[in-house]
Structure 1
Amino acid sequence: MKLSILIADDDVHVRELLRFYLVKEGYEVREAPDGQIASRILEQEQMNLAVIDVMMPGKNGWELCREIREHYDIPVILLTAKGEVKDKGKGFLAGTDDYVTKPFEPQELLYRIKALLRRYQMVSKNVITFNQTVIDRLSHVVKVGEESIHLPLKEFELLVQLASFPDRTFTRAQLLELIWGNDYEGDSRTIDVHIKRLREKFAEKTDDFVISTIRGLGYKLEVRKV
Structure 2
Amino acid sequence: MTNVPFLLLIEDDDAIRTALELSLTRQGHRVATAASGEDGLQMLREQRPDLIVLDVMLPGIDGFEVCRRIRRTDQLPIILLTARSDDIDVVVGLESGADDYVVKPVQGRVLDARIRAVLRRGEREANDSASFGNLVIDRSAMTVTKNGQDLQLTPTELRLLLELSRRPGQALSRQQLLRLVWEHDYLGDSRLVDACVQRLRAKVEDVPSSPTLIRTVRGVGYRLDAPQ
Relative to structure 1, is the Cα distance of residues 35 and 160 closer, same or farther in structure 2, using a 3 angstrom cutoff?
Answer: closer
Tell me the secondary structure at the aligned position of residue 42 of structure 2: helix
8 Å contact kept, 1:155–1:194: no
Q: Structure 1-normalised TM-score?
A: 0.66
User: Identity percentage over the alignment?
Assistant: 30
In the other structure, the counterpart of 2:201 is: 176
Give the 3 Å change call, closer, same or farther, for CA 37–194 of structure 1 in structure 2: closer
Give the alignment's TM-score, normalised by structure 2: 0.66
1:119·1:164 contact (CA, 8 Å) conserved in 2? no
Q: CA 1:32–1:187 in 2, change beyond 3 Å: closer, same or farther? A: closer
Partner of 1:90: 92
The answer as to whether partners of 2:37 and 2:66 remain within 8 angstroms in 1 is yes
Aligned length: 176
**Structure 1 residue 189 corresponds to structure 2 residue 214:** no
The residue that corresponds to 1:146 in the other structure is: none
What's the counterpart of residue 80 of structure 2?
78
Q: Does structure 2 retain, via aligned residues, the 8 Å contact 1:51–1:78?
A: yes
Backbone CA RMSD of aligned residues: 3.1
Bigger Rg, which one: 1
Cα distance per residue 1:176-198 (max 9 Å; x no partner): 33113xxx4x452325x7425xx
C-alpha contact (below 8 Å) 1:162/1:220 kept by paired residues:
no
How far apart, in 2, do the equivalents of 1:46 and 1:102 lie? Answer: 26
Offset of 1:69 from its aligned partner? Answer: 1.9
Q: Distance in 2 between matches of 1:220 and 1:20?
A: 42
Q: Which residue of 2 aligns with 1:102?
A: 104
The AA in structure 1 aligned to 2:12 is D
Matched, 1:50 2:47: no
Change (3 A) 1:220 1:82: farther
Q: Given residue 136 of structure 1, which amino acid in structure 2 is its aligned partner?
A: D
Taking structure 1 as reference, are residues 161 and 108 closer, same or farther at Cα in structure 2, changes over 3 Å only? closer
In the alignment, the residues of structure 2 paired with residue 29 and residue 88 of structure 1 have an alpha-carbon distance, to the nearest angstrom, of: 25
Q: Which runs of 5+ in 1 are unaligned?
A: 129-134, 142-150, 200-211, 214-218, 222-226
**TM alignment of 1:8-157, pairs within 5 A:** 8-120=10-122, 122=123, 125=124, 127=125, 136-137=128-129, 140=130, 151-154=132-135
Task: Give 4+ residue runs of structure 1 displaced > 3 Å after superposition.
Answer: 151-161, 167-173
Gaps of 5+ in 2: 138-143, 147-156, 164-180, 183-191
